[in-house]
Amino acid sequence: MKSIFDYTNYRKYLQDYYSWAKINVRGFSHRAFLKKAGMSGPNYLKRVMEGVHKLTDNSIPKFAKALSLSESETVYFQYLVYFNQAKTLADKDKYFEVLMDLKGPYAQYKLDRGQYDYYKEWYNIAIREILSYFPYKNNPDTLGKEIAPPVSPRKVKKSIELLEGLGLIEKRSDGSYAQTNRAISTGPDFRSLLVSKFHISMAKLAAEAITRFKKEDRYFSSVSMSLSRESFEMVIRLIREFRKTVIERVSQETDPDRVCHLNMQLFPMTKPPKKKKK
């Protein structure tokens, strides 16, 4: 059974614990687990694992007791629940920082912290992409000036160290750096936080680009429209097909001279309609 410090989703931890305990703990069952927790109801554990029920401040320590968690593991479990059940990005971000502090001594910390830092700063993505055509050999000042807006040499050095640590770039025999084909892989809850922060960061950068670049060096277009649910899903399919076409085209690029970011958004400007009663 893996350490709880290796998890970013408490329900996944409960599912893995249940599978492990069924084999390794004599007489284990949903009812036995809840009895040890001082709770009743044969289906409560199952419903929590399935996401039907949430854990509360009252039930968290009871579950920790049934899981035989140590004091430090119990604190981590508590904030893991808070992180997974948080409703706002600000709360998720706050609880994630606590989780990183709590799991600091453990091996998984460096990977999770690194992935978080990668998406936290937009220029990490830009620096990784620019290495496809711009040579970097300990020249952070020169590279930083190629980024728009410019990035300080200190941030460039820190970014290179982060990218290399995550295996997203590698140092070649001549001392320069190049991209690797490695991708970041995370659990769904962790990924939702990272992706949300990434999109917010890029949306802010896009807003600044309107005044930062000349019209011929950028492209902005938008349209507001009234849609049915069917038309809404159709537009999403068209966007996905277009995105796929763009990726296939740029993957054949042999002589890049700039790094660009393409934002595609489709979002409501009115409240969603109420579900019709059957």
The ranges assigned to domains in the chain are 4-86
Q: How far is CA 21 from the centre of its chain?
A: 30
- φ and ψ of 66, to 5 deg: -65, -30
State the virtual CA torsion across 13, 19, 21, 23 in degrees, nearest 10.
-160
User: Residue 138 carries which DSSP code?
Assistant: S
Q: Across-strand partners of 169?
A: 179
What would be the CATH architecture of the domain defined by 4-86? Orthogonal Bundle (1.10)
Per-residue pLDDT of the chain (278 residues; tens, 9 = 90+): 888 988 889 999 999 999 999 999 999 998 899 999 999 877 899 999 999 999 999 999 999 999 999 999 999 999 999 999 999 888 988 898 888 888 765 545 556 677 778 888 899 999 999 998 998 988 999 999 999 999 999 999 999 999 998 889 999 999 999 988 876 666 666 667 777 878 888 899 999 999 999 999 999 999 999 999 999 999 999 999 999 999 899 888 889 999 999 998 898 988 877 766 55
